[in-house]
Chain A
Amino acid sequence: MDLTPDPVQAAFIDAARHWLADNVPAEPLPPPYTAAGIGSHRAWERRLHEAGYAGMAWPRDYGGAGCGPDLDWLFTTEYVRARGPERINRLGLGLVGPTIIAFGEPWQQQRWLARILDCSELWCQGFSEPEAGSDLAAIRTRATRDGDDYVVNGQKIWTSLATHADWMAAIVRTDPGSRRQRGLTFLLIPMHLPGIEVRPMRQLHGEPGFAEVFFTDVRVPAQNVLGGEGAGWAVATTMLRFERAASVGHPARFLRDVGDLVELVRSVGLDDDPVVADAVAARYAEAHIFARYMEHVLTRRREGESLDASASVAKLYWSELEARIYETALDVVGPLAETADALPGSRAGRDLQRRYWHARASRIYAGTSEVQRNIIAERILGLPREAQWTSG
């Protein structure tokens, strides 16, 4: 047991802090899902790569720093503390890249990985469909082999970044007679091909973010299959595990959010209210409990243990925690929270609505809380499966 960084880690932390202090933009970048914002966010991702802070946990052979999960983790801690911009390349670095490393042919790895690292190509994830949400095996989008191409027809939905992405990592059904997990294939689709139509969707709080994507006779080169035809389910579930473990749920975020909550309580003058103090202390404890849990998981990962199901424990805990933090924040602010500029002087009060609804979304994306509970109950506790249900 050692809760402090070793000398290598301490030196790394020191360097990262300095780099972030010198480089994180003083003024927030324009929102990422806008024409102005997307360019500045891509440029920011490129700078992170040039400084050696992109894909740090990727093996050296694939352009990463090969430094294991620890430094990647520590960098995110410092990044969150420094309030760095939203990471639009998270999907490429955290999900698509590792999946290509795991399943790709050498030429595929050469073709795609470097361009993920420098963010010259931006990725979106083509999993969910109107009839395939939590029930991912119900995929209907078809890909029919025709010569050297697949001809793709169908629809994806809730696709984040689809309007700006260059590539989609998609699951399609290549065997028309197949059911459920069989007959699925993992296909990397260029987003600029003829026959692809992206219709942006507005979210409940008014912001853009995700989209519907329609495919009409889209010809995708057959060589863009990852992991072989018919192996789509295995590739997709691997990517889902990367997704659950991805740094979006890094404890530094919730420790920072709870710090903001304390600031918010002071700014509205409720710091002598015992009910508020109780709620804030509860959130503070929960954020620390999650941080300790993840430090434990990191230790076991470093020692080579496979911790697939623990990713569900982490996802469930942090997404529920995040929602509670922002429920508490709304309660503290009261009706003023409905206005965008209620507390202009307070960092914590700014953007409260947007942050609140993002927190609510966390319980839904990357596997709903209910799906995570099924996985925990069946794969960790070993409870019997329901006749009609499978966690994949």
Chain B
Amino acid sequence: MDLRLSEEQRQLARGAREFLADACPPATVHDAAGPNSLLDRVLWKQCAAVGFLAITVPEAQGGLGLGLLDLVAVVEEAGRALLPLPLLETAVVADVLARYGRTGVHREWLSRIADGDLVAVVVLPGQRLVCDADGAHLFLCLDDAGGLHAVPRDEVRVRRCVTSYGGRRLSTVAGALDATTELGPAPHAGRRLVNATAVANAALLLGICDHLLEATVEHVTVRHQFGRPVGSFQAVKHRLADAHVALETARPSVWAAAHQIDREDADADAASAIAAIAAAHAHQVTNEQALQCHGGMGFAHDNPLHLWLTQGKDVERAYGSVRQHRARLGRALLHPNRTDEEYAR
């Protein structure tokens, strides 16, 4: 039994943190937010150059041939920096293509992902909004029956939505999403996409929590009221202790789930739902305490904290809310022999 990142994985994460602190400062996040911004192709190429986009691409296609556990170590850092790019989506698409792609076209897509020439996003059943769809070249779509389709940009209609000022770039996606040939055998390929997306998104949330908690600890240490730091009051301490507990306890579940998906473990479905629940809960607690402990200063638009606060709430629900993940778990627990369709009836 050994549940922690390897030294190499920790080093990968440290490298990502240093790179992103430089390449993606808060000003970059700020400029990328809002209704009129576009995907930053220069930053995307920089991420490709340091190998982020090659993590889940096989070595034969010019990638690093690593797994989802390596990916989540980097994605947590992307969350900390609030990197405004569909890194996790593209990497997850590469993971699924690498495993279930069969044709030369699929292999070519993988090479282009590793080189930073192809941006891919994920569209799950019932998903209404897709982040960075207008900058994407490829849409990996899961239909209601579990069929998986890789759809190029020119076969879909993308309409950018009006979002809040500091929000992510969200669009609706329409078109014949299931017209193309199915990729891989249902339900395995689709299940891997659902699980990997949930777990990578959970890692992104952990990174957002990392930043929110660190910024808040610093704020309550510096900010004085009644002649002393507000962080010396137990009412404040206990809120931040709760955030720390939720965050620290969530992380090993995210790592374990990534590892279980990599190993095609029979429990990967439940582990992924648990990881998503853990991270979403950690974020609910941390987001709430971060704003509350910043007081009025957290509400000021001049404070870049608002980007993490508002985008975090969006990320929290992007690929299934806590309610949906719990419903999935609850069904498996109370009715282990019923299929999802039987349950729906």
Contacts and interface: CB of A to CB of B under 8 A. Distances in A.
Interface string B224-259: 000011011110111011101100111111011001
B245 A317 contact: yes
A76 to B, nearest CB: 14
Contacts of B233: 386
A296 B3 contact: yes
Interface size for chain B: under 10, 10 to 19, 20 to 34, or 35 or more residues? 35 or more
A293 B238 contact: no
A280 B334 contact: yes
Contacts of B334: 262, 265-266, 271-272, 277, 280
B280 to A, nearest CB: 10
Interface string B193-218: 00000000000000000000100010
A5 interface: yes
B102 interface: no
Interface stretch (A34-42, A180-188, A281-289): A281-289
A299 B217 contact: no
B342 to A, nearest CB: 12
A271 B330 CA distance: 9
A9 B236 CA distance: 44
B244 A281 contact: no
Contacts, number: 157
A278 B335 contact: no
B162 interface: no
B179 interface: no
A242 to B, nearest CB: 21
Of listed B5, B6, B323, B333, residue having the most chain A CB within 10 A: B333
A313 B248 contact: yes
A383 B259 contact: no
Contacts of A372: 241
Interface in A239-298: 262, 265-266, 271-272, 274, 277-278, 280-282, 284-285, 288-290, 292-293, 295-296, 298
Interface in A296-312: 296, 298-300, 310
A265 B256 CA distance: 29
A262 B274 contact: no
A381 interface: yes
B326 A373 contact: no
A106 interface: no
B221 interface: yes
A18 interface: no
A1 B6 CA distance: 7
Contact of B228 (A271, A282, A316, A384): A384
Interface in B324-339: 326-327, 329-331, 333-335
Interface string A313-339: 100110000000000000000000000
Given A296-B4, A382-B217, A281 B329 contact: yes
Contacts of B326: 277-278, 281-282, 285
Contact of A4 (B1, B213, B236, B237): B1
A385 B234 CA distance: 9
Contacts of A376: 241, 244-245
Interface in B254-272: 255-256, 259-260, 270-271
B345 to A, nearest CB: 12
B244 A289 contact: no
Of listed B245, B271, B323, residue having the most chain A CB within 10 A: B245
A96 to B, nearest CB: 28
Contacts of B329: 281, 284-285
A281 B2 contact: no
B69 interface: yes
Contact of A383 (B232, B248, B270, B327): B232
Contact of B252 (A292, A374, A384): A292
Interface in B135-170: none
Given A293-B249, A386-B232, A9 B1 contact: yes
Contact of A285 (B5, B245, B273): B273
A272 B274 CA distance: 21
A384 B228 CA distance: 9
Of listed A278, A310, A389, residue having the most chain B CB within 10 A: A278
A280 B273 CA distance: 14
Nearest to A262: B333
A262 B312 CA distance: 33
A370 interface: yes
B4 A285 contact: no
A292 to B, nearest CB: 4
A67 interface: no
Contact of A278 (B5, B236, B330): B330
Contacts of B330: 274, 277-278, 280-281, 284
Contacts of A5: 1
Given A370-B238, A373-B242, A374-B237, A384 B231 contact: yes
B250 A278 contact: no
Contacts of A290: 249
A26 interface: no
Contact of A1 (B69, B234, B241, B331): B69
A282 B30 CA distance: 35
A2 interface: yes
A9 B241 CA distance: 35
Interface string A64-107: 00000010000000000000000000000000000000000000
A383 B238 contact: no
B114 interface: no
Contact of A385 (B3, B232, B244, B327): B232
Contacts of B6: 1
A300 B245 contact: no
A123 B302 CA distance: 60
Of listed A2, A274, A373, A374, residue having the most chain B CB within 10 A: A373
B32 interface: no
Ranked nearest first, the 5 interchain pairs of A and B with the lowest CB-CB distance are A277-B330, A377-B237, A281-B330, A296-B252, A373-B241
23 contacts: A1-B3, A3-B259, A271-B335, A277-B326, A278-B326, A282-B277, A285-B274, A289-B278, A290-B249, A292-B252, A293-B249, A295-B256, A296-B4, A299-B2, A299-B3, A373-B234, A376-B244, A376-B245, A381-B213, A383-B217, A383-B236, A384-B228, A385-B232
Given A289-B249, A377-B231, A384-B221, 4 more contacts: A2-B1, A317-B245, A381-B217, A383-B221
